[in-house]
Chain A
């Protein structure tokens, strides 16, 4: 990779420093945290999708040995404020425990505190609640209807958000285009389902007035949200960021768990802990992802060039709104995917239903949107009898078009999509693949090729908030880093959030080592608690390489500048003549005149008389970074610069389906990936591979299915199927590096890579496989049971 040869440590195959503690089982996960005198919480949940809570009998539970408290929603609501939401929907309040009415099966109604989790569960069984069942609604389209059952009576409808944007001359472009098509695509309700459930430990110190919080959390403004719900200053909330999070991929947003525990530990005077069991996690943990219905129309020419698109995205957010409706907003920043579509109409609708509340999931709504776009591109090819690869080539943004501004106002930073596709095809011949597919078909198998070209907008600045809620004026999404060199010359850097496997300590060490020309292993990276921290937007929006990496880079530059000034002053030369190199400063005109690291440290820490005048003693620097290209609010017509970087991925796969079984199997998987400068190749590869595995799950297996009675029926890992090592095929990644002009090292995001294109590629491959039967499917997950029935029916029809 000649593009990256300017680096010493960046882009090299270095180990990930976090790994050492994990391979020996010494991660510091929340369930490993043992606070003296800690008590345990278990939950009583509502068995109905909608019910009025008539009475709660706590007596039997309270009479049990080892039981300390039974908390209901009414008491909790008295002592706390509703949880923060993204949209202004005051009549849809969200609270940790249901008040008067429970709105989904599994919603928490009562919390029991006991000496152990087992005792708390026993006591939870002894709580008697009298319910009056209420009518409910599960389906998003039904919930939109005028006469629908209302989930929140006071809100007056089930619609939280219904906003239409028109970017460009949509009507004109539709009228001018000779061809139109319509497609309905459904993305099933799934999530990231980390192997560690969410957990939190809280402890209130009444003498210092500080709430200590240890949590398995990945959430922006977590401390703000705790403070505001508990009605204490945020300076009374101390979140410990040195907790290792056992996987999240967006979803670990346990604010309701935290507020519940925070209230209990204050009320009861001892620390409490809530670690979800798997059922609590999957049903009442409020950790479901998007369930989205797309209606897409495309206007295109006989050559397959797509001129305009109309998309309605209808999101079923479940019973309450957190930030989840905003997942309709992020895709605005890549609404045309990697294509030169001139105009777009986008209608974003979010409705509440009597299902589990949604939270953020990897990609924040982008992956479902990419499926809709990519299915449309394939259908355009289908209707014209063109090859889907050719149609993509005709529509893709060309490298000379960058920076490229899409109709919704975001400028894509850089890319060379066609070159990466060519690299993938040079690796694996498309023509040979088609021959392979046709040979399989000749043997009686169903076989299909799926391709998908997808973008990963990265480095988020959260302007989708202002786009969907005009009362929000957020135009920054900071991250930061502090570096201190101690009196004997060791370097310690800080980061200010938890991590869930992304290797951020390695990221910070590598970047600082690169800037200072010192071995990254010499840079210790620590995580102060929230009261000692600088601002961090947390690892969301595929942003940490860009934002934390950027902050570390800038802080290291400040340190380098200071060291250079100290060295120049001590050498008696002007600063511009001094050169910093690998921890030393020398005179450009006399390279033998140099000051070593230890002496620079000595001067800064102990010899103020040798410092340049007016310079702060010591070696401590920090940098708070603004999002590149950020800082502006949306225009009146809803155009906005969303994310600073766009990574690109191109998937090409071969899927086979034994017609007797209906089960899709992936026979070949290739992906071309370009996320600009790669800081750690091992980390980026792992993220891409993991994203593909997650995408395979979402496309083929995973769904929080509900029965008509409103019960979530995928309640365990026997029903909610996670891909095992058997379901994830070997994947070959073909790399390309197109640096971003907007970032310090040319890096872009990769935390959502793989996931953003895998479901689209799989959906296209399955449809290609079904094509000879004259059938198609656009409902994800593409279940083997459904496919089997469809194939059997189509085969019978063909035979008759």
Chain B
């Protein structure tokens, strides 16, 4: 069936099987491979993208269901070739990852959190990432990355995500 998707500010008219997930559409059709398949049953969160600014599991959503929404992937929050967003840079500063597989989702969750709450407490950060499983880090350096990003963003005049 025909689906119109708005992804990272770009409009796409696609022909997909109705059963195709948003995750598979982003990865296989649009070649946006930053979203990753982890469990494909909505627990691990590796496939997280932002749908109208909200962190959503793209493995639990069919592509046609995303029509009319604004979708943002990790590629969409990356400022440009070779450039990092302040949140991405903070993840590098604290080494908030190891294998990098859950990382794009964690970065997007951080973007969503900080857009709503520029000064989250540790507990609020822990809560925000609690739907995203990381097997490498034990979360500590991810929590620190988000706290560092929040602190740096508060110190700048730019809105989150810009």
Binding site for B on A (CB under 8 A): 15-16, 18-27, 29, 31-32, 34, 118, 192-197, 244-249, 275, 277-278, 500-503, 682-683, 685-687, 689-694, 716-718, 722, 724-726, 728, 730-731, 754
Against A, the Cβ 8 Å flags (1 = close, 0 = not) of B119-162 are 00010001101111111111111110000000000000000000
Which are the 6 A-B pairs with shortest beta-carbon distances? A25-B34, A22-B100, A501-B99, A246-B101, A501-B98, A689-B138
Distance from A11 Cβ to chain B, minimum over Cβ atoms (Å): 15
Against A, the Cβ 8 Å flags (1 = close, 0 = not) of B87-106 are 01101111101111111100
The residues of A that contact B32 with a CB separation of less than 8 Å are 25
Q: Which of the listed residues B88, B93, B97 has the most CB atoms from chain A within 10 Å of its own CB?
A: B97
Write the chain A residue with the least CB distance to B98. Answer: A501
- Pick the contact of B41: A19, A686, A718 (CB < 8 A): A718
The residues of B that contact A278 with a CB separation of less than 8 Å are 38-41
Secondary structure of the A contact surface, majority rule: loop
Distance from B123 Cβ to chain A, minimum over Cβ atoms (Å): 10
- Pick the contact of B92: A15, A247, A694, A726 (CB < 8 A): A15
The residues of A that contact B40 with a CB separation of less than 8 Å are 277-278
Q: Verify A246–B84 contact, CB threshold 8 A.
A: no
- Pick the contact of B103: A22, A683, A687, A728 (CB < 8 A): A22
Q: Verify B133–A722 contact, CB threshold 8 A.
A: yes
Q: Verify B88–A24 contact, CB threshold 8 A.
A: yes
Q: Verify B135–A194 contact, CB threshold 8 A.
A: yes
B73 within 8 A of A: yes
Q: Verify A502–B78 contact, CB threshold 8 A.
A: no
Write the chain B residue with the least CB distance to A15. Answer: B92
Write the chain B residue with the least CB distance to A730. Answer: B140
Q: Which of the listed residues A22, A197, A245, A682 has the most CB atoms from chain B within 10 Å of its own CB?
A: A22
Since A20-B84, A118-B19, A278-B41 are in contact, a sample of 13 more A-B pairs with Cβ atoms closer than 8 Å, ordered by chain A residue number, is A19-B91, A23-B74, A23-B107, A25-B103, A31-B33, A31-B36, A194-B135, A195-B44, A278-B40, A682-B94, A717-B39, A722-B135, A725-B139
Q: Verify A716–B43 contact, CB threshold 8 A.
A: yes
The residues of A that contact B100 with a CB separation of less than 8 Å are 18-19, 21-23, 27, 244, 246, 501
- Pick the contact of A683: B38, B95, B99 (CB < 8 A): B95
The residues of B that contact A728 with a CB separation of less than 8 Å are 138-140
Q: Verify A25–B138 contact, CB threshold 8 A.
A: no
**What is the CA–CA distance of A322 and B107 in the complex, to the nearest angstrom?**
38
Write the chain B residue with the least CB distance to A758. Answer: B138
B17 within 8 A of A: yes
Q: Verify A693–B95 contact, CB threshold 8 A.
A: no
Given A15-B95, A118-B19, also A682-B141 (CB < 8 A): yes
Q: Verify B140–A25 contact, CB threshold 8 A.
A: no
Q: Which residues of B52-93 have CB atoms within 8 Å of chain A's CB atoms?
A: 73-75, 78, 84, 88-89, 91-93
The residues of A that contact B35 with a CB separation of less than 8 Å are 25
The residues of B that contact A34 with a CB separation of less than 8 Å are 31
Q: Verify B75–A24 contact, CB threshold 8 A.
A: yes
**What is the CA–CA distance of A689 and B135 in the complex, to the nearest angstrom?**
10
Binding site for A on B (CB under 8 A): 17, 19-20, 27, 31-41, 43-44, 46, 73-75, 78, 84, 88-89, 91-95, 97-104, 107, 122, 126-127, 129-143
**What is the CA–CA distance of A718 and B44 in the complex, to the nearest angstrom?**
10
**What is the CA–CA distance of A249 and B127 in the complex, to the nearest angstrom?**
26
Q: Verify B98–A503 contact, CB threshold 8 A.
A: yes
The residues of B that contact A245 with a CB separation of less than 8 Å are 99
A-B contact pairs, 5 of them (CB 8 A): A29-B33, A118-B17, A686-B95, A689-B141, A726-B126
**What is the CA–CA distance of A118 and B29 in the complex, to the nearest angstrom?**
14
- Pick the contact of B129: A500, A685, A694, A725 (CB < 8 A): A725
Distance from A750 Cβ to chain B, minimum over Cβ atoms (Å): 12
**What is the CA–CA distance of A685 and B140 in the complex, to the nearest angstrom?**
9
Q: Verify A26–B34 contact, CB threshold 8 A.
A: yes
Q: Verify A725–B126 contact, CB threshold 8 A.
A: yes
Distance from A543 Cβ to chain B, minimum over Cβ atoms (Å): 17
Distance from B21 Cβ to chain A, minimum over Cβ atoms (Å): 10
**What is the CA–CA distance of A25 and B74 in the complex, to the nearest angstrom?**
6
**What is the CA–CA distance of A686 and B38 in the complex, to the nearest angstrom?**
21
Q: Which of the listed residues A25, A245, A278 has the most CB atoms from chain B within 10 Å of its own CB?
A: A25
Distance from A614 Cβ to chain B, minimum over Cβ atoms (Å): 45
**What is the CA–CA distance of A195 and B27 in the complex, to the nearest angstrom?**
17
The residues of B that contact A731 with a CB separation of less than 8 Å are 138, 140
- Pick the contact of A23: B17, B88, B133 (CB < 8 A): B88
Write the chain A residue with the least CB distance to B33. Answer: A32
Q: Verify B136–A247 contact, CB threshold 8 A.
A: yes
Distance from A242 Cβ to chain B, minimum over Cβ atoms (Å): 14
Write the chain A residue with the least CB distance to B73. Answer: A25
Q: Which of the listed residues A21, A192, A196, A754 has the most CB atoms from chain B within 10 Å of its own CB?
A: A196
Distance from A623 Cβ to chain B, minimum over Cβ atoms (Å): 27
The residues of A that contact B138 with a CB separation of less than 8 Å are 686, 689-694, 728, 731, 754
**What is the CA–CA distance of A26 and B32 in the complex, to the nearest angstrom?**
9
Distance from B105 Cβ to chain A, minimum over Cβ atoms (Å): 9
Q: Verify B103–A725 contact, CB threshold 8 A.
A: no
Given A19-B91, A689-B137, A725-B139, also A195-B101 (CB < 8 A): yes
Q: Verify A23–B41 contact, CB threshold 8 A.
A: no
The residues of A that contact B97 with a CB separation of less than 8 Å are 19, 22-23, 501
The residues of B that contact A18 with a CB separation of less than 8 Å are 100
Q: Which of the listed residues A23, A275, A730 has the most CB atoms from chain B within 10 Å of its own CB?
A: A23
The residues of A that contact B126 with a CB separation of less than 8 Å are 725-726
Q: Verify B135–A717 contact, CB threshold 8 A.
A: no
Write the chain A residue with the least CB distance to B95. Answer: A682
Write the chain A residue with the least CB distance to B143. Answer: A725
Distance from A609 Cβ to chain B, minimum over Cβ atoms (Å): 42
Write the chain B residue with the least CB distance to A721. Answer: B43
**What is the CA–CA distance of A409 and B82 in the complex, to the nearest angstrom?**
52
Given A118-B19, A247-B135, A278-B38, also A689-B140 (CB < 8 A): yes
Q: Verify A23–B84 contact, CB threshold 8 A.
A: yes
The residues of B that contact A16 with a CB separation of less than 8 Å are 92, 95
Write the chain A residue with the least CB distance to B91. Answer: A23
- Pick the contact of B130: A19, A685, A724 (CB < 8 A): A724
Distance from B23 Cβ to chain A, minimum over Cβ atoms (Å): 11
The residues of B that contact A754 with a CB separation of less than 8 Å are 138
